[in-house]
Amino acid sequence: MKILLGVTGGIAAYKAIDLTSKLTQAGHEVRVIMTDGACEFVTPLPFQALSRNPVYTDIFKEHHPQEIQHISLTDWADCMVIAPITATTIGKLAHGISDNMLTATYLAFNGPVYIAPAMNSKMYDHPAVTDNLMLLRQRGVQIIEPGAGFLACGYIAKGRMSEPQEIMDVILNRNVTNEVEQDLAGKHVLITAGPTIERIDPVRYLTNRSSGKMGYSLAQAATMRGAQVKLVSIDLPLEVPQGVEHIKIESAHDMFEAVKSHMDEADIIIKAAAVADYTPVEVYEQKMKKKDGDLSLQLKRTQDILMYIGAHKTHQYVIGFAAETEYVEKYARGKLVKKNADVIIANNVGDTSIGFKSDDNAGTMYFEDGSEKVIEKQSKLGVSHEILTQVIKKGFK
C-alpha cells in the first residue's frame, strides 16, 4: 500500500519514526510530509532513511520541476495518515486552511484519511478542538483516539498518541477490508477473549495477565471476512471491532452462561479467553478486614467452558487455545482430546514477546485429524487471519 504520512509538531513526532519503520518493514511504501513544527522535534533524515524517499517540508520547494508535488502525491497515495496531529493542524484541516505542504496536500486528497491526535488533555477537551474533530469525523476522517497515560507536560491523562502498532492496525485493517475474501459470510462466530474476574470482596478479586488482544483480533478478522460475530469478555480498554456484538461478563461463571446461551446459533466457537480455573468459595459482601496472622482463601474449580462445548457441540467447529510454558505440544494435544475440540492453538506464554499482552503472537495449530500447522510470529490480527484461513482450508463450511 502507498501511504502518505504527515507529521506535525508534537513530542510524539518521534513515534512517527517508528511508524515509518514498521510500515516499510511490512512492505508498504511511505512518503513523509513534515510541518515546520515537526522539524523542531525531529529531523527529516530518519524519515528519509527509513522510507527511502525524500521528505516534503516546504510547499515551495519542488523536488521534481515537472510535477506539482502536493497534487502528484495525492495521485500516488492510497491513504493519508497524520500522526501525530496537533490542535493547530486539526483546526486547519477542519477549516480548509492550506498554508503549508501538509495542509495543501490534505485538501487535494480524496482517499481515506486517518489522524492520530496528541496533545495535553485540557487542549484535547477544549470545545474548539472537539468541534473541529467532529467536523472532520462528519467528513469521513477517521480519528485514531489518543490513549491515557503520562503526557510530556507531566499530566497523567488522555492525550498520548496511539502506539504506532495500533495506528498501523487501523490503517491496514480498514484498507484491506474491501480486499478480504468474504469467506465467512453468513456464518456465526462466537469468541471469548481476555481474563475473567473472580471476586473475593467488593475491593479484591482474582484475575490474570490476559489483555484480550488475541480474542479481539479474532473478532476483527472474522467480521472482516463477513461473519456475524459475538464477543464475550469483561469490560476491557480495547475497542470492540465495528459490527461485532459485545457480550459483557465478569466471572468464569458469567462467561459459561453467555457461551451456553449463544452456542446453538454459532458455526464456529473460539475460546481465546484465559478463564480462571478457580474461584473463591465465598464472596464477602463487605471488605474483609486485616487480621493478625496469615489468611487462607478456599477456592473451588470453575466450570471448564471448552470442555462443556466439546461435550455438547452439534454442528459447531470448536477452536481452543492452550497457554503453555513447557511441554507445549504434549499438553496441547492432551487438551485437544480431553476437551473434544476440532483444533487447539498452542502458544508459548513463557515467551514475553508473544502471548499475554503483547501485540504479536505465534503458535502451532493441532488438529483433531493429527495434522499440525505452525503459525509464524506476526501481529495478533495476522495470526487471527491465519487461524481462520487454516480452519476454512480444513473444510469447515
**Residues carrying an active site annotation:** 153
Q: Which helix (H) or strand (E) holds 307?
A: helix 305-312
Q: Does 384 bind ligand PMT (CB under 6 A)?
A: no
Shortest distance in whole angstroms from residue 241 CB to ligand PMT: 14
Q: Which helix (H) or strand (E) holds 30?
A: strand 29-34
Give the span between the Cα atoms of 278 and 162, in whole angstroms.
35
Q: Does 275 bind ligand PMT (CB under 6 A)?
A: yes
Give the span between the Cα atoms of 359 and 186, in whole angstroms.
29
- Of positions 170, 323, 328, 375, contacts ligand PMT by CB under 6 A: 323
Q: Which helix (H) or strand (E) holds 161?
A: none
Which residues, listed in sequence order, are joined to residue 115 by a DSSP beta bridge? 82, 143
Q: Does 302 bind ligand PMT (CB under 6 A)?
A: yes
Q: Answer for the pair 117, 82: CB distance below 8 angstroms, yes or no.
A: no
- Of positions 304, 328, 366, 381, contacts ligand PMT by CB under 6 A: 304
328: CB partners within 8 A, 6+ apart: 322, 346, 348, 364
- Of positions 100, 210, 316, 379, contacts ligand PMT by CB under 6 A: 210
* Cell output for 345: 492453538
Which residues, listed in sequence order, are joined to residue 321 by a DSSP beta bridge? 345
Q: Does 386 bind ligand PMT (CB under 6 A)?
A: no
Q: Answer for the pair 111, 80: CB distance below 8 angstroms, yes or no.
A: yes
Mark out the alpha helices in 127-185 (DSSP H runs): 127-138, 164-177
Q: Does 387 bind ligand PMT (CB under 6 A)?
A: no
Find the binding residues for ligand PMT in span 106-145 (CB under 6 A).
none
Which span (62-70, 159-167, 274-282, 290-298) binds ligand PMT, by CB under 6 A?
Answer: 274-282
Q: Does 230 bind ligand PMT (CB under 6 A)?
A: no
Specify the residue, 91 or 334, whose C-beta has the smaller distance to ligand PMT.
Answer: 334
> Residues 241-247: contacts with CB within 8 Å, 24+ apart?
241/216, 244/219, 244/220
Specify the residue, 59 or 323, whose C-beta has the smaller distance to ligand PMT.
Answer: 323
Specify the residue, 16 or 276, whose C-beta has the smaller distance to ligand PMT.
Answer: 276
Q: Which helix (H) or strand (E) holds 118?
A: none
Q: Is 340 left (phi over 0), alpha (psi -120 to 50) or beta?
A: left
Q: Does 13 bind ligand PMT (CB under 6 A)?
A: no
Which span (83-91, 145-153, 171-179, 299-307) binds ligand PMT, by CB under 6 A?
Answer: 299-307
SS3 of residue 167 by DSSP: helix
Which span (96-104, 106-114, 265-273, 280-288) binds ligand PMT, by CB under 6 A?
Answer: 265-273
Specify the residue, 21 or 303, whose C-beta has the smaller distance to ligand PMT.
Answer: 303
Taking Cα atoms as reference points, which of 359, 357, 385 lies closest to residue 194? 357
Q: Does 194 bind ligand PMT (CB under 6 A)?
A: yes
Binding-site string for ligand PMT from residue 344 to residue 363, where x marks contact by CB under 6 A and - marks none: ---x-x-----xxx------
Specify the residue, 79 or 170, whose C-beta has the smaller distance to ligand PMT.
Answer: 170
Which span (155-163, 178-186, 239-247, 314-322) binds ligand PMT, by CB under 6 A?
Answer: 314-322
Could you tell me how many residues of this chain bind ligand PMT (CB under 6 A)?
27
Residues that bind ligand PMT (CB under 6 A): 194, 210-214, 252, 271-275, 277, 302, 304-306, 320-323, 335, 347, 349, 355-357
